[in-house]
Amino acid sequence: MSTSLNMSLDWDYLKERGRENLHRFKDTGAIVLSDNAAKVGAAVLFIFFMLGLFGPVLAPFEPIEHTMMTSDGQIMRMTPPSTTAPLGTTTFGKDVFSQFLAGAQPTFIVGLFGGVGTGIIGFLVGLTSGYFGGRVDEILMRLTDLTFALPFLPMALLILTFVQPSIYLISLVIVAFIWKIPARVIRSEVMTIRQRTFVKAARASGAGDMRIMFLHVAPNVIGVAFLYTAYAVSWSIVAQASLAFLGFGDPTATSWGRMLQQVFESGAMREAWWWVLPPAIGIAAVTTSVFLLGRALEEVVDPELRSEY
C-alpha cells in the first residue's frame, strides 16, 4: 500500500514538474526571441550544426586527396580566391573551401561529445556529491580538486603522445579534464535544494535516496546543467582546435584546428589570409555564439539577471 502511494505521489509530482518544465521551455524561447544577440547566436549554431552533418557532402572536392590543377596542368599552389577555388588553395594545392566544409564535422563531433559528456559527468558528480555529503562528498571533491590541479594542455599532450589521436579519443580527454567545472556549481545548488521542505517531505514519506535525487532534486538543477553543457561545447571546440594546432589532432581528419596547423607549418600564416581566416572565423563565430546563447539561458536559470540587462 505504501509503495503504491509513493508511486502515485511520484507520478503526480512528475506531471507537475512536466508542466513547470513546459512553461520554462516557453519562457526560454520567449527570452531567446526577445534577445537579438541570442537570436544571432542560435542562427550561427544552426548553420554550424548543418555543416557538421552535411559539410563533407557539400564539399565540391575531396579535401585531402584532390589537388587543384590549372588548365595547363600546373598545381594551383597558394592561389587567392577565384571562381575555381572560392576560398583559394593551400600550399599543397588543396581547395580551402572544401577543407573548411569538411572540417566542420570533426569540430562539431568534438564539440557535441565533449559538451554533452562534460555536462552528464559534471551533473552526476555534482548531484551525488551535493546530495549525500559526508564521505561521499569528500571523496568526489578531492577527485575534483585533483583535476583542477592538473593543467589540461600539458596533460592532454602527454596522453596523446603515447596513443594515436582520434576525434573520439580527443573528446574523451577533454571530458576527463573539464567536467570539474559544472560539478562544482551543481554541487553547490544541490546542497541548498536538499534542505528544502519538499525534499524533507519526500524523505519522510519513505522515498529512497535514488528516487529523491532524480525525481525531486535533479529537476531543480537541470537548468544549470544545460547551461554548463552549452558552455562545455564551446570549451571543447577551443580545446580541440588548440590540440590540433599543436599537432596532436586526428591525422586522418580535416578539422578547422588542423587547417590552422597546416598553414602555420607552411610558413604562410601572414601571406595566405584566405587559408587562415575561414577556420579562424569559424571557431570564433561558434564559440561566441555559444556564449551569446548562454547569456540568454542564464536569465532563465537566474531570473534576477533579467533586470540587469
Query: Within a domain: residue 243?
Result: yes
> 282 pLDDT exceeds 80?
yes
Given a cut of 60, is residue 234 above it in pLDDT? Answer: yes
Q: For residue 26, what pLDDT band results from cuts at 50, 70 and 90?
A: low
150 within some domain: yes
Mean pLDDT for all residues in the chain: 86
CATH number of the domain at 155, please: 1.10.3720.10
Instruction: Give yes or no for residue 4 having a pLDDT over 80.
Output: no
Domain annotation covers residue 206? yes
Domain carrying residue 170: 2-67+84-308
**pLDDT score of 1 more than 50:** no
Residue 200 within a domain: yes
Q: pLDDT class for 102, splitting at 50, 70, 90?
A: very high
Tell me, letter by letter, the H, E, C secondary structure of 60-115.
CCCCCCCCCECCCCCECCCCCCCCCCCCCECCCCCEHHHHHHHHHHHHHHHHHHHH
Instruction: Give this prediction's pTM.
Output: 0.84
In whole angstroms, what is the distance from residue 131 CA to residue 128 CA?
Answer: 5
Q: Mind giving me the DSSP string for 21-36?
A: HHHHHHHHHHHHHH-H
DSSP state of 265: H
Inside any domain, residue 28: yes
Per-residue pLDDT tens over the stretch 152-173:
999 999 999 888 889 999 999 9
- Is residue 78 assigned to a domain? no
Residue 31 has pLDDT above 90, yes or no: no
List 95's β-bridge partners, or say none: 89
Binned at pLDDT 50, 70 and 90, residue 14 comes out as: low
Q: How far is CA 119 from CA 34, 107, 126, 148, 278, in A?
A: 26, 18, 10, 17, 29
- Number of structural domains (the chain) is 1
Among residues 183, 116, 196, 103, the alpha carbon closest in space to that of 143 is found at: 183
Answer whether residue 12 shows pLDDT above 90.
Answer: no
The per-residue pLDDT for 5 is 47
